Amino acid sequence: MMNGREALQRLLEGNGRYLAGECAGAGHHAGRRSETACGQEPFAIILGCSDSRVPPEVIFDCGIGDLFTVRVAGGVAGDQVVGSIEYAAGHLGTPLLLVLGHTSCGAVTSAVAGGEHEGHIGSVLCELHEAVEASQDSCAGEMEGDERILAAVRENALMIAGKLRTSEPVLKKLVDGGSLLVAAALYDIRSGTVSILEKG
């Protein structure tokens, strides 16, 4: 299996094909479905937002069995999310974890705006508050509107990547041992471009 940096390069090459309108689509056929029926060896874990405009397999031109995707509003990392990532990294041996934020994130927008929310969405926004506060504190008075939201999205991706990199006992051990690379990236929903924020 490839290492984390090779896996990251493969993702970026796939995004390049997506941007160029040259998606291979090789991993979507019946043969690939049969190949993966008895087991999986995804080369990357993607922790991203549930937003319908950010489908990892599409924007990275990947097919069945290529990606272990964990999606939740705001890309937050609660216990169930971390457990899912631990399964892929620890049991499947996946060498890359990419924390993928995106522009115009509704969850982050709501967290920046503040206020009360009905139902369980409040638990998601609570997870985002630390990143929102950190991004606003670092650039106090210098940003407005969309800039504040983008700064919070970037900070959230970086903060979550940092927390996962040091998450004990499973992920930290894999990172320290060199078998797992944790990176953070930003997806622009208008251009389709994935930009790396941090390579671990």
Which pLDDT score is estimated for 196? 98
CA angle (98 as vertex; 103, 178 as ends), nearest 5: 155
Strand 67-71, strand 44-48: pairing:
parallel
Could you write out the three-class secondary structure of 31-71?
HHHHHCCCCCCCCEEEEECCCCCCCHHHHCCCCCCCEEEEE
Options 3.30.1060.10, 3.40.50.2000, 3.40.1050.10, 3.40.50.720; CATH of 4-23+40-198: 3.40.1050.10
For the whole model, what pTM was predicted? Answer: 0.91
What pLDDT was estimated at residue 81? 97
Query: What are the average pLDDT values for consecutive 10-residue runs of the chain, which has 200 residues?
Result: 95 96 72 69 96 96 94 95 98 98 93 82 86 74 73 94 97 98 98 93
